[in-house]
Amino acid sequence: MNVAQVLSTQARKQGTRAAIIFEGQVCTYADFDAAVERRASALHGLGIGRGDRVAYQVPKSLEALFLHFAIQSLGAITLPLNPDYRPEELEYFLRDSGSCLFIADRRLFAPVRAQVLEIPGLQTLLTGEGADPDAGSWAEALAAAVLPFERTYAAAGDDTAMFCYTSGTTGRSKGAMITHRNLLANAEALHQMWAWTESDRLLHVLPLFHVHGLNVAALGCLYAGATMIMHEKFDPKRAWTALGAERCTLMMGVPTVYQRLMNEWETLADRPDLAAMRLFISGSAPLSDTQFRRFEQLTGWRILERYGMTETGMIASNRLEPGGRKEKSVGYPLPGVAIRTVGSDGEAVPAGEVGEVWVRGDNVFSGYWGLEEKTRESFVAGWFRTGDLGWCDPADGDRLYLVGRAKELIISGGFNVYPKEVENVLEALPEVREVAVIGLPDDDFGERVVAVVVAKEGAGTVSDEALMRQCRDRLAGYKCPRQVHFVDELPRNAMGKLQKNLLVERYR
């Protein structure tokens, strides 16, 4: 089955029930399906078909979801892009993916125009009003749609449905190929685990260009025939109001979202009526035991934590009944997902000991686009190596606890930052000899990005402002260091290996 068939099937069943209420604008299942049909016809008219990569960079909007499902309904591959990407980042994704069509928000396009228009074989269409001498108009393409249009659903099963770029240890992002089977298997597993029904109403405050907001929250909702109350931007005060006033039953967030909700709760004059609420779900980064307990003390609700990854979709979840939700544990493998914890010798560690988490199942992606060797290294006998470290409690049905990461990764507010990518940008400055980028504990973001810099002798002084500017020009905002420390030398062991742990100790 093609994942976009979920929408057409639900449209037949749900008809005029609301699929999405985006900032107060109601989009019924029938409207959603009709919008996707129109876009599918327009894309077909532009020559888009099975296996073509279509990238889009638009703010969080109904259009983002319409495009996503329209692209998939033709058997093409969707590539949603963060509106905050800087020109160099964007150019890399468009070139690496070999995208043939790029649909861009007109306001976001101006700073990336020169780079994008130079990419061979890429057609660019801009949303919104106005004309650009070198890029086409998405509105004009839409006006040329011929309706009714029979969607081909020309890809299914192990065909790639979407690319999701995840950063890599070398600093270059890798395009994870996520298949129709992956998306559908995960939606079904979450449907069972969280007992979704069409009566559910989900408050959606997350970005639509990542697995969490797109595949877990939005697809999960459509799969159940439920309704999304969607905010363009997360604002804790508005979120509490909506949870009560919209009679929401479900909420999904990263720990930073919950941290901000708790801070807001303490200042609220009128507490929302949460009588309809069923589940607060957290993921994408570790929820601390303090956060878990504080949320329950304040609101009476116990957060359900789950664990996932771009390459694998969702892996594990705590249980639905409040007694089955435990702090610091990400729960049990989802239906159809197998987990092993493995030592450095490649053998399963004894139960209760820490090992690397390996995952197998229909949820696991097919590989990294154009990187056969990297893909081979990431799998062992069909098991995907997550790079996360954890242990399973044999006395509690193999409940999984994550304790750290074997991979060098900073998770800031649920966004992944690979230190190497930031180091590469800073080391390109002539005044910089070397840099170590580390993650330090942060009350709001969980971890914050910090750069420790050794300046080059005789190259003049370098200010932290110059370093920050270099980052802001070339990296999305969440990757930019919040602090810079200057040192004479970086700590290394006898083998010359950089000891970032000592830097973390010194600056935490």
**CB 448 to ligand MLC: min, Å:** 7
**CB 155 to ligand AMP: min, Å:** 23
Task: Spell out, one character per residue from 368 to 397, where the chain touches ligand AMP: x when CB under 6 A holds, - when not.
Answer: ------------------x-x---------
Q: How many degrees, rounded to 5, is the angle at CA 499 between CA 494 and CA 502?
A: 120
Where helices occur in 225-383 by DSSP H, the ranges are: 236-245, 255-265, 289-299, 372-378
- Whether the Cβ atoms of residue 460 and residue 439 lie closer than 8 Å to each other: no
Sequence-separated (6 or more) residues with CB below 8 Å from residue 235: none
Task: Spell out, one character per residue from 403 to 432, where the chain touches ligand AMP: x when CB under 6 A holds, - when not.
Answer: --x-----x----x----------------
Say whether residue 7 binds ligand AMP (CB under 6 A): no
Say whether residue 471 binds ligand MLC (CB under 6 A): no
Cα distance between residue 494 and residue 332, in whole Å:
41
Q: Which is nearer to ligand MLC, 379 or 478 (CB)?
A: 478
Radius of gyration of the chain (CA): 23
The site for ligand MLC, by CB under 6 A, has a size of 23
Selected range binding ligand AMP among 61-69, 136-144, 227-235, 302-310, rule: CB under 6 A: 302-310
Say whether residue 310 binds ligand AMP (CB under 6 A): yes
Where helices occur in 225-354 by DSSP H, the ranges are: 236-245, 255-265, 289-299
**CB 326 to ligand AMP: min, Å:** 12
Say whether residue 305 binds ligand AMP (CB under 6 A): yes
**CB 476 to ligand MLC: min, Å:** 7
Query: How many angstroms separate the Cα of 227 from the Cα of each of 19, 27, 252, 469?
Result: 5, 10, 14, 42
Sequence-separated (6 or more) residues with CB below 8 Å from residue 12: none
DSSP assigned state of 353: S
Largest CA distance in the chain: 71
Concatenated DSSP letters for 52-89? Answer: -EEEEE--SSHHHHHHHHHHHHTT-EEEE--TT--HHH
* Binder of residue 234, out of ligand AMP, ligand MLC, none (CB less than 5 to 8 A by kind): ligand MLC
**CB 186 to ligand MLC: min, Å:** 11
Among 80, 83, 286, 308, binds ligand MLC (CB under 6 A): 308
- Reference 206, options 284, 319, 288, 313; nearest CA is 284
Cα distance between residue 135 and residue 287, in whole Å:
44
Among 40, 77, 402, 410, binds ligand AMP (CB under 6 A): 402
Say whether residue 75 binds ligand AMP (CB under 6 A): no
Site residues, ligand MLC (CB under 6 A): 206-207, 210-213, 233-234, 254, 256-257, 283-284, 308-310, 412-415, 445, 477-478
Site residues, ligand AMP (CB under 6 A): 166, 211, 283-286, 305, 307-310, 330, 386, 388, 402, 405, 411, 416
